[in-house]
Amino acid sequence: MKKTRRHFIKNTLVASAAGFILPSETFGIINPTKNMSSIVGHGNFTYNVDKEWGVQDPSKTPVNDCHEMVMDSNGHILMTTTGTNNDNILVYDKSGKVLKSWGQEFPGAHGLSIMGEGKDQFLFITDPDSHKVWKTTLDGKILMTLSRPKEIDGYTEDEQFKPTETAILPNGEFYVADGYGENYIIHYNANGEYMNHFGGTGNKSNEFNCCHGITLDTRDKSNPTLLITSRASQEFKRFSLNGQHLETVPLPGCSICRPVIHGDNLYFAVIVTKTWDSWDGMLAVLDTDNKVVSLPGGDAPQYLNGVLQEPIYDGKTFRNPHDVLIDNDGNLYVPQWASGKTYPIKLNRI
């Protein structure tokens, strides 16, 4: 799956250089017209789509692949985007205005996690291209840098470490998911010192096929666990904090990025359903029983004998959505990968 993803990127760049014409739907980058007429989702999770929410002047605020978004305690929205000639972190307000941008140290900026309160909030940024993880302040001061964990025999070269995501515990300990590398989940203490690891590449219950995303699930406050995607296998897994496999939840047809929890519900960006060679994807909303209850950007979720049937992309809403951020009003913000350098869009909860 990783080779396929890179193959798609290479083909996209070649096509662009040859004058490949993008579809007429430009998501508001050129000659924007306000578009709030599209309604997506199902049941209690339906939304009006605003494709112009995050649109900027690309000559002033350029983006490439937009990967992930988090919200700080002031309601500001931070987003990672790739590139060597642009800032890799954009900071939006809720209206879609860019307040500032910073950081050109993270050209492959991918995962973005936030923790802490008020002035003590901090970020973790993963970059599989630079083979590093950074801890920073909200304005970009680097506090910690991690490279490949030499304590693990599975790594012999720095380039094998291609981290995609982090999950942070309240005590400052954190986990790094090496989703584009060796598929280990590495556990560190608050000082960035190696503690232990689990996982690895494979199809066993305690292994992963692209552990792209990880999050701490505290919905059961007495028993916090880790949710970890195995994206190429179209499933996610639950582990104890010490790395014991607890359950696997298949989502057929859904190549899911990272788990995002809001209230009692679990959200995923489904980056693709059928093929990496064309724009695709949707969002998935799951209840506490891990049943899909809404598929914004796709057809209504259907189950047959308890098994989710592969969803169908609506052909218009998204271009490879890579993450989803949920605000306190239940609105969704969605950055997109390999989408023709589009800016994030917003789904207003109905």
Judge whether residue 221 has pLDDT over 50.
Answer: yes
Confidence of residue 89 (pLDDT cuts 50, 70, 90): very high
- What is the distance, to the nearest Å, from the Cα of residue 100 to the centroid of all Cα atoms in its chain? 21
Give the mean model confidence (pLDDT) for residues 325-342. Answer: 98
pLDDT given at position 237: 98
pLDDT given at position 234: 98
Judge whether residue 239 has pLDDT over 60.
Answer: yes
- Structural domain including 290 reads 2-349
Strands (E), 6-154: 39-42, 45-50, 66-71, 77-81, 89-92, 98-102, 112-115, 122-127, 132-137, 142-146
Cα–Cα distance for residue pair 110/127, rounded to 1 Å: 6
Judge whether residue 21 has pLDDT over 70.
Answer: no
pLDDT given at position 119: 82
pLDDT digits (tens, 9 = 90+) for 157-168: 999 999 999 999
Cα–Cα distance for residue pair 264/219, rounded to 1 Å: 7
Confidence of residue 275 (pLDDT cuts 50, 70, 90): confident
Give the mean model confidence (pLDDT) for residues 75-92. Answer: 97
Confidence of residue 37 (pLDDT cuts 50, 70, 90): low
Lowest pLDDT segment from 35-49, 52-66, 136-150: 35-49
pLDDT given at position 340: 97
Strands (E), 58-189: 66-71, 77-81, 89-92, 98-102, 112-115, 122-127, 132-137, 142-146, 165-168, 174-177, 184-188
The alpha-carbon radius of gyration of the chain (Å, integer) is 19
Contact 296, 47 (CB under 8 A): yes
Give the mean model confidence (pLDDT) for residues 235-263. Answer: 98
pLDDT digits (tens, 9 = 90+) for 104-123: 999 999 999 999 988 899 99
Domain count, the chain: 1
Judge whether residue 28 has pLDDT over 90.
Answer: no
pLDDT digits (tens, 9 = 90+) for 304-314: 999 999 999 99
Judge whether residue 36 has pLDDT over 90.
Answer: no
Q: Pairing state of beta strands 303-304 and 292-294?
A: unpaired
CATH number of the domain that residue 234 is part of = 2.120.10.30
Cα–Cα distance for residue pair 324/262, rounded to 1 Å: 11
Kindly report the average pLDDT of the chain as a whole number.
Answer: 91
Confidence of residue 254 (pLDDT cuts 50, 70, 90): very high
